[in-house]
Structure 1
Amino acid sequence: MSSVEEQIREIEDELKKTPYNKATSKHIGRLKAKLARIRDEAVARAMASSGGGEGYSVKKSGDATVVLVGFPSVGKSTLLNTLTGTKSETASYAFTTLTVIPGALEHKGARIQILDIPGLIAGAAIGKGRGKEVIAVVRGADLILVLVDVFNEKHVDVLLRELYDAGIRINHPKPDITIKKAGCGGIRLNTVGTAELDIEDIRSILAESKIVNADVLIRGEVSQDDFIDAMFGNRVYVPAFIAVNKVDLVDQESRKEIEEDMENRFGQPPIMLSAYSGYHIEELKDAIYDNLGFMRVFLKPVGGPADMEEPLIIRSPATVEDVCNRLHRDFVDKFRYAKVWGSSVKHDAQRVGLAHTLNDGDVLTVVTRC
């Protein structure tokens, strides 16, 4: 019987050789669903296998958690030390970091947890190296910082592929797809907007998971890959950006070539930095803050002035209920109403409920029952 890697390679080869058109879309959809199932089973076996390792269970803290993902020896530990002052061991050989090392970054009023994890290698998604522990930590992150250096930046696709194979979708909105299994009636499809898929594509994909009766609702544009992800239901959608380390070791012309190449391949320029010298570290801190989508809410006690010095930092979009939950769970249970000053309301001191969506810079008063 062929190994998991061989089965995956065979299906990938068939997909490459099959031209996509209306006549082949049903076959391609089923191949993609089969490939996703085999990968999911391999990841599940890797996660459930014995072993583990001390230090891989890290309690999340602060306003958000960022994970440093990269090959061994790209400078993740040095970067963690520079950003947070944490003493993560560094050396010039691979796999210096054998556990997860947490650190805290204070920036623009936000307290951000940074996690340094062991280097990712090819095959990590199915458990190679310390893949199962590393992937588990990455799946729980609020932001992924993909770190490469000037000597391996052309291989960043390997990192992104490992994350994709482990069910981590980078910079991709979660598709609005609902699949409800039914006892009879076959596959019934309802769409809102324009969907690339037709009923035959969907039947073919669902058949790979032995689903023959279901009500399917699709809102917006979705692809075969989106639908397969929704069928398995275990994907995580995480923002990410790329940084290139050790730029102090190459000349200015090489830096520019690397930066342009990365922007052409991934649609956004990377942060070019040196963790050792501190070059562009402040720009990196700003990028982390911006990619986490933070917003400031200034709290005003009843009958008192607003605290304009220390805002509450919360991730956008945020409702009044989200703020109440951050303050204390009793605020929701005893909530009467809130007053808001700022751009999210039509007039200052407008009364709003828990579902009201706040904007950056709003001033908020929460009124509760005694």
Structure 2
Amino acid sequence: PGVGKTSLLNLLTGAAKEKIGKFTPVPEIGIYEHNKVRYQIVDMPTIRQGAASGIGNGREIISQLRACDLICFCVDLSRDYKEQIDLLLEELNKSHLRINVPPPPITIDKTGSNKIQVFYLTNEARELNDVEDLTEKIKEITHAGGIRNGIVKVFGKIELDHVVDSLNPSVAYKKSIILGTKGDLALTKNTFDKLEKSYSNIFPLVIGTSVKMRKIPSDFGKIVLTYLQKMKVYTMNKGIVAERPLLIDSSPNKPTIRDVAIKIHRSFYESFDHAIVIRKDARQEKKKVGLEYELKENDIIELHMK
């Protein structure tokens, strides 16, 4: 409590101004806009020790985090940062939220017969140590998880904990950043540097803020999109460009016209004929392209159906 979440929400969105300095009993919502992209920012009630067990409505609070694109750990730089961060990580992990780790390269599907079969489908997977022993342990864990017949596909390096997580439908993988608050207070610069160094293996993005000094990156929205590996493009219909951009994934591969068509509606993909792409400052500004054409930031796209 009292880390400055509500003040930060107000700085970015202008929301909840009258509630600054008060305990946040229910989520407060504000809209932040940057470069025509609107971000819904939710100031959540405090996660306390024991939240995963239900203390302080912790289960209800944490369950709402499952719907978000990004979790921001707001950490008071004038207090013990390690205690704050470790508490949040522990409660989220107990609630089956995995922070800043990719989903494991393994899938498990039930079948009707043939018991449990394990397949290693990439060179990286086939080069794992003690594959025979690993296979038996995977079968044991899968069987203990209630699957008697199934196919396990391994696509890369895995640990046994990954198998357990893959069997648990409540496990979710979330990206997260740290926002250090109260950066205007004495000695917080040194604290911020220590925090950033100590947690760089978990949090690749740590941002210092100060509401009092109105200090937060002016391109905060762009920083968030880059971190989430999202790219901004615009759609066009009969020569009229949409006012707001469309956000598409820019990882692991470069986005294509196919991704835009499916994102809008699968029928656009199924009935696709061609697309017109307008790219400012390109040698050829306007092109007629197909589904596999790779897109760049701020491209303007008009889809044509058969």
Range of TM-score over shorter length: 0.7 to 0.9
Letter in 2 for 1:76: K
Residue number in structure 1 paired with 2:149: 213
Cα distance 1:277–1:173, how it changes in 2: closer, same or farther (>3 A)? same
> In the alignment, does 2:51 pair up with 1:118?
no
Letter in 2 for 1:106: E
- 2:157 aligns to what SS in structure 1? coil
Alpha-carbon shift at residue 256 of structure 1 (Å): 2.4
Letter in 2 for 1:177: I
Residue number in structure 2 paired with 1:276: 212
- State the alpha-carbon separation in 2 of the partners of residues 146 and 89 from structure 1: 23
- State the alpha-carbon separation in 1 of the partners of residues 193 and 305 from structure 2: 52
Match of 1:258 among 192, 200, 204: 192
- State the alpha-carbon separation in 1 of the partners of residues 135 and 164 from structure 2: 14
Residue number in structure 1 paired with 2:185: 249
Match of 2:232 among 296, 320, 323: 296
Q: Is the 8 A contact 1:260 1:269 kept in 2?
A: no
Cα distance 1:298–1:76, how it changes in 2: closer, same or farther (>3 A)? same
> In the alignment, does 2:10 pair up with 1:84?
no
- State the alpha-carbon separation in 2 of the partners of residues 186 and 91 from structure 1: 59
Alpha-carbon shift at residue 122 of structure 1 (Å): 1.6
Question: What are the superposed Cα offsets for residues 180-212 of structure 1, whole Å, 9 maximum, x if unpaired?
Answer: 223443321101232346212202322332334
Residue number in structure 1 paired with 2:296: 359
Q: Is the 8 A contact 2:177 2:205 kept in 1?
A: no
Q: Following superposition of structure 1 onto structure 2, how do residues 318-357 of structure 1 map, counting pairs within 5 Å? A: 318-320=255-257, 323-324=260-261, 331=268, 335-341=272-278, 349-353=287-291
Q: Is the 8 A contact 2:97 2:171 kept in 1?
A: yes
Alpha-carbon shift at residue 91 of structure 1 (Å): 5.1
Letter in 2 for 1:153: Y
- State the alpha-carbon separation in 1 of the partners of residues 267 and 139 from structure 2: 47
- 1:130 aligns to what SS in structure 2? helix
Q: Is the 8 A contact 2:114 2:149 kept in 1?
A: yes
- State the alpha-carbon separation in 1 of the partners of residues 196 and 237 from structure 2: 48
Q: Is the 8 A contact 1:259 1:270 kept in 2?
A: no
- State the alpha-carbon separation in 2 of the partners of residues 216 and 288 from structure 1: 35
- State the alpha-carbon separation in 2 of the partners of residues 88 and 136 from structure 1: 26
Q: Is the 8 A contact 1:259 1:272 kept in 2?
A: no
Letter in 2 for 1:154: K
User: What is the TM-score with the length of structure 2 in the denominator?
Assistant: 0.81
Alpha-carbon shift at residue 88 of structure 1 (Å): 5.1
Cα distance 1:194–1:335, how it changes in 2: closer, same or farther (>3 A)? closer
Question: What are the superposed Cα offsets for residues 118-176 of structure 1, whole Å, 9 maximum, x if unpaired?
Answer: 00112212222121221121110011111110113112011012112212222222223
Match of 1:185 among 114, 129, 133: 114
- State the alpha-carbon separation in 2 of the partners of residues 285 and 337 from structure 1: 32
Q: Is the 8 A contact 1:121 1:129 kept in 2?
A: yes
- State the alpha-carbon separation in 2 of the partners of residues 221 and 163 from structure 1: 24
Cα distance 1:179–1:325, how it changes in 2: closer, same or farther (>3 A)? closer
Residue number in structure 2 paired with 1:235: 171
Match of 1:141 among 53, 56, 68: 68
- State the alpha-carbon separation in 2 of the partners of residues 114 and 275 from structure 1: 16
- State the alpha-carbon separation in 1 of the partners of residues 89 and 7 from structure 2: 22
Cα distance 1:202–1:356, how it changes in 2: closer, same or farther (>3 A)? farther
Greater CA drift, 239-248 or 271-280:
271-280
> In the alignment, does 2:93 pair up with 1:160?
no
Q: Is the 8 A contact 2:76 2:182 kept in 1?
A: yes
Alpha-carbon shift at residue 288 of structure 1 (Å): 2.6
Residue number in structure 2 paired with 1:16: none
Residue number in structure 2 paired with 1:24: none
Alpha-carbon shift at residue 316 of structure 1 (Å): 1.9
- State the alpha-carbon separation in 1 of the partners of residues 273 and 153 from structure 2: 36
Alpha-carbon shift at residue 230 of structure 1 (Å): 1.1
Alpha-carbon shift at residue 266 of structure 1 (Å): 2.9
Alpha-carbon shift at residue 278 of structure 1 (Å): 1.1
Number of matched pairs = 288
Q: Give me the identity figure in percent.
A: 29
- State the alpha-carbon separation in 2 of the partners of residues 97 and 275 from structure 1: 17
Alpha-carbon shift at residue 84 of structure 1 (Å): 0.3
Alpha-carbon shift at residue 313 of structure 1 (Å): 3.6
Match of 1:103 among 30, 48, 53: 30
> In the alignment, does 2:124 pair up with 1:194?
yes
- 1:179 aligns to what SS in structure 2? strand
Cα distance 1:257–1:74, how it changes in 2: closer, same or farther (>3 A)? closer
- State the alpha-carbon separation in 2 of the partners of residues 366 and 182 from structure 1: 40
Q: Is the 8 A contact 2:81 2:195 kept in 1?
A: no
Letter in 2 for 1:99: V
Structure 1 alignment gaps of length 5 or more:
1-71
Q: Is the 8 A contact 1:81 1:88 kept in 2?
A: yes
- 1:98 aligns to what SS in structure 2? coil
- State the alpha-carbon separation in 2 of the partners of residues 316 and 242 from structure 1: 22
Letter in 2 for 1:115: V
Residue number in structure 1 paired with 2:54: 127
Cα distance 1:202–1:102, how it changes in 2: closer, same or farther (>3 A)? same
